[in-house]
C-alpha cells in the first residue's frame, strides 16, 4: 500500500505556463501524466484546449486564482476538494480561489471518471505538486526582481516576502513567473503546516444550488433545441415491430417521430408535450429471446451455488481438507435483489450532430468513453466529438454508462437538430443498468474452537466480483480460504452500483462472522480482532487491507459507540469492512417501536488517511451510510416476463427523513495519503443493522430487503 506523503515529483514538464494576453499567468497541466513537450497553454483563456491539458490554473494580475477543475461532480465534493489541494500548496487564501468546471475534450485525459472513490486518492500527489511548483515559480520571479536568493523568500496567502520584509503579491510577478524555467523536485508541505487541507470548506456551488440556478443537464437549453422522449421496449428481450407514429405526428407541438433500433423517439417543442405524446404512442413488440423473471433468477442462482461451474479467484491452503477434518461446518446463503440507481435527476443528454462536429452536453461520469462510443456509433473522427459536462443530479454508477448520450446523438443525427433526450422517472427506472441480483454461499469449518476454513461462493447475474475483492478481509486471516464465482448471463442490463459487489458482500460476510461468533460462543468483536492478528506481518502482497488499520477502527468504534453499555431497549449491531482503500467500522443502534425495529443511530469510525475537507467528507459518510441502511431495509426490485415491476416512487421505496438514523462520524487521525469516501461507508451499514436486528428480535436476516424478509429463515447447514 502506498503510504508516502512526500514522494518527489520529478517528471519533467508535467506543467506548462504562459502569459495571458489579458494579464496574468496560465498554468496548464495534465493530471497523472506528463505533457507532451511541444504543447503550450493558450494566451487567451477563452481558447482553453482540454486536448492538450486537462486542467488549468489561472493567476490573474490582481492575485485572484481560477482553477479549471477537471473532474465531474456527481455530489461527492471533488469540485471542492481537488482545488483545495492545489490552493494549499500554492499558498493562497481560499477566499481568492474561484473554481470552474472545465469543458472536456476527448484526447489525452487520463482520469476524468467519477467512480470508484478514486478522485482524491489519485489527485493527492499531482495536484499538490502542481500548486507547489507554481508557488516556487512565483517566488523565483520575485527573488529575481529583488535580486535576492529564492531561499530567502517566503509566502503567505498569496504574498511573497523577502528577508528585508519587502512584499510582492502573486499578481505582481505573474508576468515574469510565467516565462521562467519550470523548477523540479519541489518539496511539498509537511501535513502539520496545512492551512486549507483539513479545514471545513463548503461546497463550491452552494449558492447556485440553493437558489435554483441552472446547473444540471436537465436545465440545459439552447436555441433551436427540441426535446426527445423515447419509448423503449417495455420488457428486456423485446424488439419493436411497429408503432402508430403517424397519429402522434399530428399532435400539436410534436415535431417528429423517429424510429431507431428498437426504440421510438418523440420530438417536441417542450418536455411535457414530448412525454405526453410518447405515452400516446402505441407500439407492438416481439421477442426472440426469453423474457426473464425474478422467480427464475432465484432458482438459477441457487442452482449455480449448488453446482460445480465455478471460477476460482483465490485459493489458500486446502479448503476441502479443512472441511473434511472439521468438528463443525457452518453454511449460510445470503440473497439480494436487483437495484435501480434512481438518481434524483433522471437520465438526460443533449446532442447536436452536424456535418462539422458532434457536440454533447450533459451529466455523465465517463466523458472519454462516451465520446469514443458516440464517435464509433456515428462513424465519426473522435476529434469531431466534444463532451461538456454539467453538474450531475446523482450518479451512483448509473452515469458511468453513456447509453443516454448515444441515444441523443443517434436521434440528433437522424433529426438533424439539436436534441435533448429526457427520461421520465418511469423511463429511468425501467431502462436501467441495474445492480445485479447476487447470492452468496459462505461456509466455514471449525476445529478445536478455531476457524480453519472459509469458502465464499458467488452466483451473480452477468458479471462477478472484481479481482481485488477476494483479497479483502478475511483473506489472509484463515489458513484455508477460497473464493469461487459463477454467473448467469441475462438480457437484463446490469452494471456498477455504488460500491459494486461489496455493497452486498459486506452484509453477507459481516452477518456471517456475527453468527459464527454466536455459534462458537465467543465475543463477536474479539473474533474479528483475533482473525486480524493472523494477518499482521503478512508477506502476501495481494492482501489489500491493513490489519492494523482495521483493528484501530474496531477499537475506536467499540469505545465511541458505547458498545455493550447502552441503556435498556437499545440493541447494537457491529460491522467492520475494508473497500475502496478505506477502513470503516460501524455500530447500529436499533430500538423496537411497536415491536418493529427502528434504526436510531449509526456510529461510524473511518480511516481514510488525511481528511481533506471534513465538512464534505462527513456529508459523504452520512450519505453513504443512510443509503446503505435504506437499500438494505427497503430496496427491492423484481422482473416479471422481462418487465420491471416498479417504475416510480409510488411502489419503489427509498429511505425518507423520518426513517433516517443519526450518523455520528469519527475519523482516525492520520498522516497517510487520503483515500476516497464516496463509497466505502455504504457496505458495512447493512450488516450493522442486521446484526442489531438480531440482537433486538432474535431474527437473523439473510435476505434483502429486510422489511420484506423479517421472518425469512435460511436453510441451516
Partner 1 sequence: MPVYNLKINGTSYNIKAEQDTPLLWVLRDYLDMVGTKYGCGIGQCGACTVHVDGSATRSCLLQVSMVEDMEITTIEGLSKNTLHPVQEAWKEIDVPQCGYCQTGQIMSATAFLSQNKNPNKTEIRDAMSGNICRCASYNRIEKAVELAASKLS
Q: CB-wise, 477 or 499, nearer to partner 1?
A: 499
CB of 667 to partner 1, least distance (A): 16
CB of 312 to partner 1, least distance (A): 37
Cell numbers for 347 = 437520465
Distance separating alpha carbons of residues 67 and 87, to the nearest angstrom: 9
Alpha-carbon distance values, 701 to 332, 359, 695 (Å): 11, 50, 11
Place of cell 436555441: 223
119 Cβ partners below 8 Å, 6+ apart? 71, 76, 78, 81, 82, 111, 676
Burial (CB count within 10 angstroms: exposed 0-12, middle 13-18, buried 19+), residue 707: middle
550 vs 625 by CB, closer to partner 1:
625
For residue 576, what are the CA distances in angstroms to 195, 448, 549, 605? 32, 25, 11, 9
Using the minimum distance from each CB to partner 1, give the nearer residue, 42 or 614.
Answer: 614
Nearer to partner 1, 60 or 266 (CB): 266
Find the helix packing angle between 524-533 and 547-560, rounded to 10°.
Answer: 160
The span from the CA of 485 to the CA of 508, in Å, is 15
Q: Between 75 and 476, whose beta carbon lies closer to partner 1?
A: 75
Of 634, 683, 693, the closest CA to residue 506 belongs to 683
340 touches 494 (CB < 8 A): no
Residue 502 CB, shortest distance to partner 1, in Å, is 18
Which residues have C-beta within 8 Å of that of residue 661, sequence separation ≥ 6? 588, 589, 599, 600, 601, 602, 625, 626, 629
Rounded least distance, CB 496 to partner 1, Å: 16
Minimal distance, residue 75 CB to partner 1, in Å: 3
Q: Measured from the CB atom, is 343 or 465 closer to partner 1? A: 343
Q: Please report how close the Cβ of residue 64 comes to partner 1 at its closest, in angstroms.
A: 22
Q: How far apart are CA 12 and CA 704, in angstroms?
A: 52
Q: Min. distance of Cβ 475 from partner 1 in angstroms?
A: 30
> Could you tell me how many helices (H) and strands (E) the chain has, helices first?
16, 28
Q: How far is CA 657 from CA 39, 431, 636, 662, in A?
A: 51, 27, 19, 10
Shortest Cβ distance from residue 243 to partner 1 (Å)? 22
Residues in the chain: 717
Nearer to partner 1, 240 or 617 (CB): 617
Give 378 or 602: the residue with its C-beta nearer to partner 1.
Answer: 602
CB of 399 to partner 1, least distance (A): 10
Residue closer to partner 1 (CB basis): 86 or 422: 422
Q: What are the residues binding partner 1 (CB under 8 A)?
A: 74-77, 200, 202-203, 205-207, 209-216, 218-219, 221, 227, 252, 270-273, 275-276, 342-346, 391-396, 424-426, 615-616, 619-620, 622-627, 630, 648-650, 654-660, 662-663
Hey, what's the cell of 338?
Answer: 436487483
Q: Which is nearer to partner 1, 241 or 662 (CB)?
A: 662
Query: Closest distance between partner 1 and the C-beta of residue 213, in Å?
Result: 7
CB closer to partner 1, 45 vs 605: 605
Least distance (Å) between residue 386 CB and partner 1: 23
CB of 5 to partner 1, least distance (A): 27
* Contact present, 666 and 603 (Cβ < 8 Å): yes
**What is the C-alpha to C-alpha distance for residues 671 and 248, in angstroms, rounded to an integer?**
63
Q: Is 675 exposed, middle or buried (0-12, 13-18, 19+ CB in 10 A)?
A: buried
How far apart are CB 283 and partner 1 at their closest, in Å? Answer: 21
Alpha carbon distance 527, 536 (integer Å): 15
CB of 631 to partner 1, least distance (A): 10
Please, which residue, 30 or 424, has the CB nearer to partner 1? 424
Rank residues 20 and 226 by Cβ distance to partner 1 and give the closer one. Answer: 226
CB atoms within 10 A of CB 228: 28
Burial class (CB within 10 angstroms; exposed 0-12, middle 13-18, buried 19+) of 573 = buried
Q: Residue 125: is it exposed, middle or buried by C-beta count within 10 angstroms (0-12/13-18/19+)?
A: buried
State which residue, 138 or 612, has the beta carbon closest to partner 1.
612
SS3 state at 319: helix
State the nearest-atom distance from the C-beta of 208 to partner 1, in Å. 8
Closest CA to 679 of 437, 495, 500, 440: 500
- Give the number of other CB atoms < 10 A from CB of residue 384: 18
Of the pair 20, 599, the CB lying nearest partner 1 is at: 599
Radius of gyration of the chain (CA): 28
- 3-state class of 231 per DSSP? strand
Q: How far is the CB of 658 from partner 1 (least distance, A)?
A: 4
Q: ω into residue 474 within 30 of 0, thus cis?
A: yes
Q: 206: left (phi > 0), else alpha (psi -120 to 50), else beta?
A: alpha
Burial state string for 540-551 with b = 16 or more CB within 10 A and e = fewer than 16: eeebbbbbebbb
Closest CA to 57 of 126, 113, 117, 107: 126
Q: Decide whether 21 or 280 has the Cβ nearer to partner 1.
A: 280
Q: At what angle do helices 614-634 and 502-520 cross, to 10 degrees?
A: 70
Instruction: Compute the least distance from the CB of residue 599 to partner 1, in Å.
Output: 12
Q: CA dist 367 to 403, 573, 574, Å?
A: 12, 41, 39
Which is nearer to partner 1, 361 or 531 (by Cβ)?
361
Angle between helices 403-415 and 367-378 (to 10 degrees): 40
Amino acid at each position: 500500500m502506498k503510504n508516502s506523503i512526500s514522494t518527489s515529483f520529478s517528471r519533467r514538464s508535467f506543467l506548462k505556463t504562459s502569459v495571458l494576453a489579458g494579464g496574468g499567468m496560465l498554468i496548464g497541466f495534465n493530471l497523472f501524466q506528463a505533457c507532451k513537450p511541444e504543447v503550450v497553454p493558450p494566451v487567451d483563456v477563452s481558447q482553453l484546449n482540454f486536448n492538450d491539458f486537462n486542467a488549468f490554473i489561472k493567476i490573474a494580475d490582481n492575485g485572484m486564482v481560477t482553477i479549471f477543475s477537471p473532474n465531474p461532480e456527481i455530489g461527492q465534493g471533488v469540485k471542492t476538494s481537488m482545488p483545495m489541494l492545489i490552493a494549499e500548496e500554492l499558498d493562497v487564501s481560499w477566499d481568492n480561489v474561484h473554481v470552474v468546471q472545465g469543458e472536456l475534450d476527448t484526447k489525452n485525459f487520463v482520469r476524468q471518471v467519477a467512480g470508484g472513490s478514486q478522485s482524491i486518492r489519485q489527485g493527492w500527489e499531482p495536484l499538490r505538486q502542481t500548486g507547489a511548483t507554481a508557488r516556487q515559480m512565483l517566488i523565483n520571479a520575485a527573488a529575481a526582481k529583488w535580486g535576492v536568493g529564492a531561499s530567502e523568500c517566503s509566502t503567505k496567502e498569496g504574498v511573497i516576502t523577502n528577508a528585508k520584509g519587502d512584499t510582492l503579491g502573486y499578481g505582481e510577478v505573474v508576468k515574469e513567473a510565467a516565462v521562467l524555467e519550470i523548477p523540479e523536485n519541489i518539496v511539498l508541505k509537511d501535513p502539520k503546516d496545512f492551512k486549507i487541507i483539513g479545514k471545513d470548506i463548503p461546497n463550491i456551488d452552494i449558492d447556485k444550488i440553493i437558489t435554483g440556478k441552472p446547473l444540471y443537464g436537465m436545465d440545459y437549453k439552447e436555441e433551436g433545441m427540441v426535446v426527445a422522449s423515447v419509448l423503449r421496449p417495455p420488457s428486456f428481450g423485446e424488439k419493436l415491430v411497429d408503432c402508430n407514429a403517424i397519429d402522434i405526428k399530428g399532435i400539436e407541438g410534436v415535431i417528429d417521430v423517429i424510429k431507431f433500433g428498437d426504440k421510438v423517439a418523440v420530438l417536441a417543442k417542450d418536455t411535457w408535450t414530448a412525454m405526453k405524446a410518447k405515452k400516446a404512442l402505441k407500439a407492438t413488440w416481439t421477442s426472440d429471446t426469453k423474457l426473464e423473471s425474478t422467480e427464475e433468477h432465484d432458482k438459477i442462482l441457487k442452482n449455480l451455488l449448488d453446482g460445480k461451474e465455478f471460477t476460482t479467484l483465490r485459493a489458500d491452503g486446502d479448503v476441502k481438507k479443512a472441511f473434511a477434518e472439521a468438528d463443525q461446518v457452518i453454511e449460510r446463503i445470503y440473497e439480494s435483489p436487483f437495484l435501480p440507481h434512481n438518481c434524483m435527476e433522471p437520465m438526460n443528454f443533449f446532442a447536436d450532430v452536424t456535418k462539422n462536429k458532434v457536440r454533447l452536453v450533459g451529466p455523465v461520469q465517463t466523458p472519454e468513453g462516451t465520446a469514443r462510443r458516440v464517435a464509433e456509433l456515428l462513424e465519426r473522427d473522435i476529434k469531431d466529438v466534444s463532451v461538456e459536462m454539467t453538474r450531475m443530479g446523482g450518479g451512483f454508477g448509473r452515469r458511468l454508462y453513456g447509453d443516454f448520450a448515444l441515444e441523443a446523438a443517434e436521434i440528433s443525427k437522424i433529426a438533424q437538430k439539436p436534441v435533448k433526450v429526457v427520461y421520465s422517472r418511469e423511463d429511468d427506472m425501467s431502462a436501467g443498468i441495474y445492480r445485479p441480483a447476487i447470492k452468496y454461499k459462505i461456509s466455514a469449518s471449525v476445529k478445536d474452537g478455531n476457524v480453519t476454513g472459509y469458502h465464499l461462493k458467488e452466483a451473480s447475474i452477468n458479471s462477478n466480483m472484481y479481482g481485488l475483492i477476494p483479497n479483502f478481509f478475511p483473506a489472509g486471516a484463515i489458513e484455508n480460504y477460497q473464493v469461487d464465482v459463477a454467473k448467469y448471463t441475462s438480457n437484463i442490463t446490469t452494471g456498477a452500483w455504488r460500491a459494486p459487489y461489496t455493497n452486498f458482500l459486506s452484509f453477507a460476510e459481516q452477518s456471517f462472522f456475527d453468527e459464527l461468533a454466536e455459534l462458537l460462543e465467543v465475543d463477536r468483536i474479539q473474533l474479528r480482532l483475533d482473525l486480524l492478528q493472523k494477518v499482521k506481518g503478512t508477506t502476501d502482497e495481494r492482501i489489500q487491507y491493513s490489519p492494523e488499520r482495521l483493528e484501530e477502527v474496531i477499537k475506536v468504534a467499540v469505545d465511541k459507540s458505547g458498545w455493550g453499555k447502552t441503556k435498556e431497549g437499545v440493541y447494537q449491531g457491529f460491522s467492520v469492512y475494508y473497500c475502496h482503500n478505506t477502513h470503516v467500522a460501524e455500530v447500529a443502534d436499533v430500538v423496537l417501536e411497536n415491536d418493529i425495529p427502528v434504526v436510531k443511530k449509526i456510529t461510524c469510525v473511518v480511516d481514510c488517511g488525511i481528511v481533506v475537507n471534513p465538512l464534505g467528507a462527513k456529508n459523504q459518510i452520512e450519505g453513504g451510510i443512510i443509503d446503505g441502511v435504506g437499500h438494505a431495509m427497503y430496496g427491492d426490485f423484481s422482473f416479471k416476463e422481462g418487465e420491471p415491476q416498479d417504475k416510480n416512487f409510488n411502489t419503489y421505496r427509498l429511505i425518507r427523513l423520518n426513517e433516517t438514523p443519526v450518523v455520528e462520524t469519527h475519523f482516525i487521525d492520520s498522516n497517510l495519503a487520503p483515500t476516497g469516501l464516496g463509497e466505502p461507508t455504504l457496505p458495512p451499514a447493512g450488516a450493522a443493522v442486521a446484526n442489531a436486528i438480531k440482537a433486538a428480535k432474535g431474527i437473523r436476516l439473510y435476505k434483502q430487503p429486510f422489511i420484506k424478509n423479517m421472518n425469512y429463515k435460511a436453510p441451516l447447514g
